[in-house]
Every structure is written in C-alpha cells, then in structure tokens.
Structure 1
Amino acid sequence: MSASDWSTILGRSQFLGELYSGAPPTPEQCELFYVHIDERDNSATIGFVTSNLPANPRPEWRERPYNRLEFYLYFCDLTGLLVEGWSASEAQNFDISAVSEEGIAIRVGREKAGISFRASSLRLVDTRVFLATEGL
C-alpha cells in the first residue's frame, strides 16, 4: 500500500481526517473484512476495522467503551473491474492510489489474484465503534 496515497485520501476531512486529526490509521493498522460489488449501481463498498482509535471521537462514542473503529468506503462509477479469485490471503493486501484524470485505482490481493478496479470517486459511507473481545 502506498502509505502516502492512503494517508492523503483518508486524512481529508470528508473521510477520517476530523476523527484522526488528519493522520488516519496506516494500512498496516487496518484489516479489510468486507467487500461488496454492486453491478446495478456500478459501485463497490469496502469495509475496514482498526484498533487505532480516533483522537477526536464523536460525542456519542465517548459514553460507552470501545476498542475498535469500523469504516466503509464506497467507490462509484467503476471501470476495469477484474476479479481473479478471492480468499482470506487476498484480503491482507490492499492498495488505494490516486490516479490523475482517471480517479482512484484500487487493488485488493496479490498480482494475478484478487480484485482490481478504477473508480471516478469515493466517499466514506459509515463509521462505528464497538467493543471487541481480544484474541484467545
């Protein structure tokens, strides 16, 4: 993952910038757990979870215990969608790159395995915090 593109994109105020004072969790601090491709809408939604908690949590979050933040990115107007297999190992590798004039390039997985596409735009569609049990 290009940390600079990830940080530049997600560090903006319309994404995670306000919650994290402009410094969102790094790709290594996030786990991809959800992918939904919608051919009717020509879109994809990708969900991540992190234990790197926000510096500026929402007021309603402060009233309860939590140790994880979940967020979903919605990619619009997909082109070049390619799916070449999918498993848990592909979900461990992801890359979001800003591509001038062409929007955003997304790659989930390794070369020759995973999902790739370009999107004209992206937005944050949901965030939530929750209390997760630590591994046994």
Structure 2
Amino acid sequence: MSTAPWPELAALYDTPPELSSCPLYYVHVDERDTAVTLGFETARLPDHPEPEWARRAYNTLRFFVVFTGVEDLRMTGLAAGHPDGGDRVLISGSGCGSGDGRRRVTVTGTGRSLSFSAAASAVTRTRVYLQGSV
C-alpha cells in the first residue's frame, strides 16, 4: 500500500493521490516526541478545495504527514535540499493485515533510505501555492 486513509486528504480528493506520485521534499525527525514528519507535494489539484483557496492562483498542493510513536528508525544517506523526486515511499500495516496495528514506513531513493514503524499517522497541514510560472 502506498497511501493511507487520511481523512484530511479524503476531504479534498475523491481519490487521494498515491504517495508514489507525490515528491517527498521534507523530512523532520523529532527524537523528543518520537515522531517523523514527511512533507509531500502534488500538482494534482483537489477535487474539493478549501473555500479560502479560491481567492488565489495555485498549481501545487503541499501536505505534511506526522507519524507518531516511532520505533526502529533507520536512516542512511539523507541529504539536505530538495530531492530529485525519485524517492519511493511505501506505507503498510494498520489495517493491512500486519496484526500489530503499527504502520511500517519505508522511503528509498538514490543513495538514501529511511525506515521506521509508527503507532499512528495524520495529515497535520495542507497548503496550496503557485510553483513556477503558469
């Protein structure tokens, strides 16, 4: 499974975009709260946009997924800066027959990887903006 049933995205899309089609541009590890935040963007505009978004031009949606209760965190080669969009994000568990109720998250890309399990996840922020020229 490459996406998760986040109500925040389900409210915006009839069928939310697959994470594999959304470039990962942000990773934040918070060791104090045992949380990992992943930031994604997509040029696929929402079917049901927020009313306040109608007042401005935009062509990109960004959303942040916070995974909490993180365990078994493993990272290699995470580089700063905007990735080339070649990352592959897979999420399994929690409703996928894993049995322990945890989500397993794996991010792989050229020269880098990130993996962990999490007790829960939620989309904590969505925003639209105009990227490049229209």
Aligned match of 2:107: 108
Distance 2:68 2:20 in 1: 25
Q: 2:21 aligns with which of 29, 37, 44?
A: 29
Aligned match of 1:50: 42
**Structure 2 unaligned residues grouped into runs of 5+:** none
Aligned match of 1:79: 71
5 Å-filtered alignment, 1:12-27, equals: 12=6, 14-21=7-14, 23-27=15-19
Distance 2:45 2:84 in 1: 25
**Structure 1 unaligned residues grouped into runs of 5+:** none
Aligned match of 1:97: 92
Going from structure 1 to structure 2, the CA distance change for 1:66 and 1:113 (only over 3 Å counts) comes to closer
Question: What TM-score, normalized by structure 1, do the two folds share?
Answer: 0.83
Give the superposed CA RMSD.
Answer: 2.3
Is residue 29–residue 52 contact of structure 1 (8 Å, CA) maintained in 2? no
Going from structure 1 to structure 2, the CA distance change for 1:63 and 1:29 (only over 3 Å counts) comes to same
Is residue 29–residue 51 contact of structure 1 (8 Å, CA) maintained in 2? no
User: Structure 1, residues 25-78: CA drift from partner, whole Å, max 9, x if none?
Assistant: 123431100000000111000000000000000000011110000000000011
Aligned match of 1:69: 61
Higher-RCO chain (CA-CA 8 Å, sequence separation at least 6): 2
1:132 to 2:124 alignment: no
Secondary structure in 2 matching 1:15: helix
Percent of aligned pairs sharing the same letter? 33
Question: What TM-score, normalized by structure 2, do the two folds share?
Answer: 0.84
Distance 1:61 1:100 in 2: 40
Secondary structure in 1 matching 2:52: helix
Runs of 4+ in 1 over 3 A off after TM superposition: 87-91
